[in-house]
Amino acid sequence: MSSASSAVCRRAIGGPTRAPPKGDSAQMTESAATPDFDRGETDPRAISGRARLISVLGAAIRLGPPLILLVLCLAFALLSPYFLTVGNIQNIGVQSAVVGVLALGQLFVILARGIDISVGSVLALATMVSVVAFPGHGLAQIITCLAVGAAAGAVNGSLITSGKVPQPLIVTVATMSIARGAAQITTGGKVVAGLPPELALLGDSFVGLLPTPVVILFGLAALLGVLVTSTKLGRWIYAVGGNPEAAEKLGVPTKAIVLFCYTVCGLTAGLAGIITAGRTDAATPMAGAGLELYAITAVVIGGASLFGGRGNIWNVLVGALIIGVIKNGLDLLGVEPFYQTVAIGLLILVALQIDMVRGRLETKLRAMQAREHAQ
């Protein structure tokens, strides 16, 4: 190692530095002043130009979800005269609300480097338990539905943080099957129809021109947005997702944070169950089937990283709206549901590729910025 490199290392760890030999002083000054192209360094102006280009590309990708939503709306508006009618826009909002509520909870789990495949089944279980336990009592059903959802999420979090199987995917696939089976056991697979009016008030009513589920969705988004952006708990969630080992060394209670995120995810599944039951005036043990896929898709389309530590509440809502617009627009065009499923799958692949490109661009940008600072 050269004397200059030794000095840099000692400064980095706080050790004493040693002056270079006098004879090397001029040579080192000249070396420091002139970029060494053989080591991969380039003209600082060229680095700065490429860094700006990568920064612009990264910003364009971050603005991608709203742009995609805008393009889809324009396309379907041109293809169908019914797309921009008030009734259809309200319908899109209601269709997107359940996916949006589930996606907000899923975002918390993904921010903490997890994933929850069980949310659709938890939705059904919470709904069935609440209507069977308190028939005819709307308020009790609402409270029970939320409590069962939160409890199911807490079980997932506990199994992941304290159990023998730390892989979230495996754990939640197992609990997905358990929750779905338990939901069917409650009534022997039968549908319970004729629910109390309190549920219809939350799932099938309006506040002015806005459907109540949409109001609930935006209220929940505002609450969770404040939590993740303006509280210490929110900063801890991002820290755990970004680097759990470093977060733990800094005193962040990583296991408690993961448990909290899964509990929130279960709670939102219970809330989505209330909205679903209120819309249909019925509780069915097959409710929510496949919605876990849509929730995860909305989070990924919204720009969150499946590797944790990055995600935005409002972009998740945009992701949910993109799914709602695609499904609604294809319905208006008479496209069969089977092709809609294919379209959602392709959308997931595109979103994953965009996430990988964004990650590479951010890595290159950080490297270029570090090289600029070093010169």
The pLDDT tens digits for 162-192 are: 876 778 999 999 999 999 999 999 999 999 9
Considering only CA atoms, which of 74, 80, 282 is closest in space to residue 195? 282
Q: Pick the most confident of 56-65, 257-266, 295-304, 340-349.
A: 257-266
Domain ranges of the chain: 65-368
Q: 47 pLDDT exceeds 60?
A: no
Name the pLDDT band for 59 (thresholds 50, 70, 90). low
Q: 30 pLDDT exceeds 90?
A: no
CA pair distance 59, 96, nearest whole angstrom? 26
Widest Cα–Cα separation across the chain:
93
**Whether pTM exceeds 0.85:** no
The pLDDT tens digits for 121-158 are: 999 999 999 999 999 999 999 999 999 999 999 999 99
The whole-number average pLDDT for the span 292-321 is 90
The whole-number average pLDDT for the span 54-75 is 79
Considering only CA atoms, which of 375, 229, 231, 251 is closest in space to residue 313? 229
pLDDT of residue 279: 94
Question: Could you tell me if 236 and 308 are in contact, meaning their C-beta atoms sit under 8 angstroms apart?
Answer: no
The whole-number average pLDDT for the span 203-232 is 95
The whole-number average pLDDT for the span 260-272 is 97
pLDDT of residue 145: 97
Name the pLDDT band for 48 (thresholds 50, 70, 90). low
pLDDT of residue 336: 86
CATH code for residues 65-368: 1.10.3470
Neighbour-count burial for 294-314, b at 16+ CB within 10 Å, e otherwise:
bbbbbbbbbbbbbebbbbbbe
pLDDT of residue 313: 93
Q: 57 pLDDT exceeds 80?
A: no
pLDDT of residue 126: 97
Mode of pairing for the β-strands spanning 206-207 and 210-211: antiparallel
Percent of the chain with pLDDT over 70: 81
